[in-house]
Amino acid sequence: VFVKASPPYNFDLSGQIFVNGDPQVRRFEKGTFRQVIRIGDKLAQVSVESVGTVEKPRLSIGLKTNCKLTEADKENAAKTVSHIFNLSFDLTSFCKEAENDKTMQFLSRKLYGLKSPMTQFAFEALVDSIVEQ
């Protein structure tokens, strides 16, 4: 399964937030993100890698599960990955505005393509915020 992102998108930079997290929950190492996600009533381990560029971002999604996955399940998994990595968020207007400010210009160039990841469920976001404090 493949999914595209709104450019610019830097998968390696965006995935760095998961490097120091609990590897039993989710893991990002050597350019691959892994996490168990819910697809309807099924669980699957998703592995995500970048197969594109920052300007033409494309992610490859691998799924491991004990259940048979339908095409709809695979499509839902792609939507979940797109949500987790905030792939539809458009950074172009921000990048244009940042070019007008010297400090923001420096930061936006250094962090070009960074999109803040999200969680699959609100409960997960709550647990993450408590644990990270």
Render pLDDT for 47-99 as a digit per residue (tens, 0 to 9).
Answer: 999 999 999 999 999 999 999 999 999 999 999 999 999 999 999 898 889 99
The predicted model scores a pTM of 0.84
* Residue 69 DSSP code: P
Closest CA to 54 of 92, 105, 21: 92
